Every structure is written in C-alpha cells, then in structure tokens.
Amino acid sequence: MSRVSTAPLRLVTRDDRAVQLPSNSSLPSIESEAQLRGLLGALSGVDAVGAEARAAKLATRSLKKSTKLAALDLAISMVDLTTLEGADTPGRVTSLCAKALHPDANAPEVPSVAAVCVYPDLVAHARTVLGASTVKVAAVATAFPSGRASMAVKVLDVKEALDAGADEIDMVIDRGAFLAGRYGQVFDEVVAIKELCGATHLKVILEVGELKTYDNVRRASWLAMLAGADFIKTSTGKVGVSATLPTALVMLESVRDFAEATGLRVGVKVAGGIRSAKDALRYLVVVNETAGSSWLTPDGFRFGASSLLNDLLMQRLKQHRGAYVRPDEFSGD
C-alpha cells in the first residue's frame, strides 16, 4: 500500500462526507508522499510545557448552575457508550443499548447518548435492538486495537461492520508505520477505509499514548484529516495512557485550524480513562475555548466511555435535587 509514492491519490470528494459542507470548502490535493511530508513538517511544533499549562489553566474554569446542567446534558448526548471486551455477549449489548436509549429510567427528559460502540460481530445485534432510534451504532474495526494486520484483513473487518449496519466506523492508524515515518502508508490506509465508508462516519484513532509527543499528535491529526477523517479520536482505551486534557487541546487546535484552512469541520473524540463528570466538563470547556462553541454538539465532540455516564447522571440529579443519591439509583450498564 504505497500508492502515495507511486501514483496520484484519489481524493475524497465532498459528497462522500457525512457533514454537509460549504460550497467553497476543499481538501488540499495530496499528490505524493513528499508533498504530504512537507505539509506535516510545516505544521507548528507544540511546546509541551506551554500546552500543559494552558490545559491546566482551562481546567480551573468553574461551571455553575444552569451552565453546569446544560453541560451535563450535553455531555450525556455526546457519550459513545462503549463495551469492548472479549467477554461481550448479545445480552450484554442488549442492556447497553437499553441504557443508551434511556440513560435514566426515572428521568425521560435525559437525552439519549450519541452511540453505542461495539466490536463488528455485535453490530447487527445492536442495530436490531436500537431500531429506528437516533442512537448510532459505532464499530471499532481495522484490527482494533493494535491495527497489526494486513490491509486485506482490515478492509474485510470494516466491510463486515458496514454490512451489519454500522453508522460509524472507529478505525485505528498503524502507529508503527507512523513512528517509522511512513506517513504515505498511514494516509493511504485512512483514504482506503474512508472510500469504503462513504457517507458512514469515520473516526480515526490516533492512539496518542503510543505516539507519545504532542508534535506527533498534531501531525497525526492533520494526516487523518487530510485523508478524509470525519472525527479524530485519541485512543483505543487499551494502552496505558489514553485521553488527556492537553492532548485533546492539541487535537482541538488542529481541527480548528483545519476548518479555517479547508472549510471542513472534523470532530474530536476523547476516549479512555474519562470516568467523572468533572473531567467531562473540563473537556467541554477546552472544546468551547479552543475550537469554539460550534463544536459543542455530538457531531463535533464525543466521549468514548462507559462508567462516565452514571457519574453524569448522578451529578445531574444532584443539581436538580440539591443532594446526591445512592449509586444504585442508576442501572449498572
């Protein structure tokens, strides 16, 4: 898969994208690996100390009263409720879907979550349970979580998920190829998967815990966006370090700059290790003050999480009632 270095790429066209775009938006045409390398190399570096200081400063924002309530409901609507275990069963997915549709059984006004996120073999079952609801089915594919498989296997993985009715595909990039500097290979893989997906939302997982540096996170973000990603996602949740606030900050700066440069809005999904409502609200503040409030929709930002949802519900009820309820007030799924 080294098309980049040999022949011009087929570009992702405007119509393939899930978000309706302004008429004058355009992706730069990537004709060669050298050009791609030049584009990524021209990106500004990230000063790690400064980025972490900025994230820490934003984390001191204090959301109160109606802002807090609105933010909690917004966060609930942005959750990709996730189960990615070897022990997953149709029964487990059924109860997860029920939770996704009606997160709080006693409060019908609580919004549904954005999506349920499962392995490809459970997509069909989730699709059936969710029926015609607004909750999407997202499938992790392309040899998730390591991505260590041939392209043929990855393509088949995605095809099966799409055939089973997935609305969204969460693919992983080949971190080994990226770290070895084979940007063209990573680019081609994302382009190929996006072609398969068509109008189906494609989230590209960078696995920031393996990219290690913020410079790499920014380059990988731009690479994925240039290749046609609808979302860029921090992590699989399967390595030691997952989403962090400064990493999300760097990715949000990238999507903001990409939108300015191309007219294309790409979303950001943070995943792994986000368990408390307090953390979730901090991410929303970073979204608001970096990419802007127009990213504060389930099309612009997502949380990949499972236990986060119940803390959001508990904090929400606390805001309404003025006191905490027992954790067992909420279903454990």
Active-site position among 174, 233, 279, 311: 233
Taking CA atoms, 314 is separated from 131, 164, 179, in Å, by: 28, 34, 41
Pick from 15, 91, 240, 260 the residue near another protein by CB under 8 A: 260
45 binds another protein (CB under 8 A): yes
Task: Find the shortest distance in angstroms from Cβ 232 to another protein.
Answer: 16
Pick from 259, 277, 313, 314 the residue near another protein by CB under 8 A: 259
Pick from 16, 25, 94, 179 the residue near another protein by CB under 8 A: 25
Compute the C-alpha angle 152/172/234, nearest 5°.
175
- Binding region for another protein (CB under 8 A) out of 25-33, 89-97, 121-129, 317-325: 25-33
6 binds another protein (CB under 8 A): no
Close Cβ partners of 115 (under 8 Å, ≥ 6 residues apart): 80, 81, 100, 135, 136, 137, 138, 167, 168, 302
Query: Does the annotation mark 233 as catalytic?
Result: yes
Close Cβ partners of 48 (under 8 Å, ≥ 6 residues apart): 213, 214, 246
297 binds another protein (CB under 8 A): yes
Q: Which is nearer to another protein, 6 or 44 (CB)?
A: 44
Pick from 94, 128, 146, 262 the residue near another protein by CB under 8 A: 262
Pick from 18, 59, 63, 151 the residue near another protein by CB under 8 A: 63
- Binding region for another protein (CB under 8 A) out of 91-99, 201-209, 270-278, 284-292: 284-292
If we measure between CA atoms, which residue out of 20, 30, 9 comes closest to residue 264?
Answer: 20
What's the full length of the chain, in residues? 333
289 binds another protein (CB under 8 A): yes
Pick from 42, 87, 132, 152 the residue near another protein by CB under 8 A: 42
Q: What CA–CA distance (Å, rounded) separates 161 from 123? A: 6
Compute the C-alpha angle 193/170/196, nearest 5°.
20
Q: Which is nearer to another protein, 292 or 327 (CB)?
A: 292
If we measure between CA atoms, which residue out of 257, 264, 281 comes closest to residue 78?
Answer: 281
Residue in this structure with the two tokens 């059924």, named with its chain if needed: 94
If one counts every other C-beta atom within 10 angstroms of the C-beta of residue 285, the result is 18
Active-site position among 269, 279, 311, 333: 269
3-state helix, strand, coil in the chain (%, to 5): 50, 10, 40
Q: DSSP code of 236? A: -
Q: Which is nearer to another protein, 64 or 326 (CB)?
A: 64
230 binds another protein (CB under 8 A): no
Q: What CA–CA distance (Å, rounded) separates 237 from 274? A: 10
Residue in this structure with the two tokens 């996120």, named with its chain if needed: 117
Both tokens of residue 269?
Answer: 């999904």
253 binds another protein (CB under 8 A): yes
8 binds another protein (CB under 8 A): no
227 binds another protein (CB under 8 A): no
Query: Does the annotation mark 167 as catalytic?
Result: no
Query: Does the annotation mark 269 as catalytic?
Result: yes
Pick from 88, 195, 263, 318 the residue near another protein by CB under 8 A: 263
- Look at strands 168-172 and 115-118 and give their pairing: unpaired
Per rule CB under 8 A, count of chain residues that contact another protein: 58
- Phi-psi bin for 77: left (phi > 0), alpha (psi -120 to 50), beta? alpha
Active-site position among 80, 104, 167, 170: 170
183 binds another protein (CB under 8 A): no
Q: What CA–CA distance (Å, rounded) separates 170 from 286? A: 23
The footprint of another protein (CB under 8 A) covers 20-26, 28-29, 39, 42-47, 49-51, 53-54, 60-68, 70-71, 74, 77, 222, 250, 253, 257-265, 284-285, 288-289, 292-297, 299-300
Instruction: Supply the residues annotated as catalytic.
Output: 170, 233, 269
